[in-house]
Amino acid sequence: MSQEFAGRTVVVTGAASGIGNSVARHFAERGAQVFGVDLSESIHEEMARLPGSGHQGIAQDLTAAAAGTETIGQVVAAAGKVDILVNSAGIVLLDKALELSEQKWDATLAVNLTASFKMAQAAGHAMTEARYGRIINLASQASVIGLDEHVAYCASKAAIVGMTKVLSMEWAQQGVTVNAVSPTVVETPLGKLAWAGEKGEALKKQIPTGRFAQPEEVASLIAYLAGENAGMITGENILIDGGYSSI
């Protein structure tokens, strides 16, 4: 397997499970040193399972004050740098707009948007000083379309795209690219459970390719954006939804 990312330091949030875990493994298999960040203490065990050496888990509540600065500081202290940041941590709290509680709204924005910005801001300080960096933010097809009961989630993911565009513009001349990736439903264990049965089959019929995305497909796109051949791609929101949003 290609060792494209040998010598690179990669930070992946939400890396204990789901898309984040697949992304962490993808980079580790290609030679990177991976720092996985997650609220769950299982992050230590998950990072120990990755191929290669030097990987570390950081158990951190990314909504806590100074979490971004502390996390990136820990990475830089251990590895001397941060080359790539993948903001994958996120939550989905559903309800109709008229019934959505303030708590659900605030929690969704805190995890999906504010925590991602604080991580990007902290990484951005190190990257712009080094004059190199790649930041990939996980948005969603919900960043460009409306979904029933997803008002907080859609708002947070649309805001991720707006944030991505501004950071890309401000940091481009310092060698830092910032992009967003927007998947449809991804067949992680949680995704399979949430979209099992008739509900999932009905949604698949609305997707031109007739299926959901696989975690490795998302990881591969993220890795491309983090690679040397993507240096001219910045400020983009790339949909990986089987054509659903183009209908």
| Residues forming the active site | 153
C-alpha 93/C-alpha 57 separation (Å) is: 26
d(CA 133, CA 144): 26
Q: CA 69 to CA 75: how far, in whole Å?
A: 10
Q: Which of 62, 59, 16, 12 is CA-nearest to residue 32?
A: 12
E strands in the chain = 9-13, 33-38, 56-59, 84-87, 133-138, 176-183, 237-240
Alpha-carbon dihedral sign for residues 162, 165, 168, 171: negative
User: What are 213's strand-pairing partners?
Assistant: 186
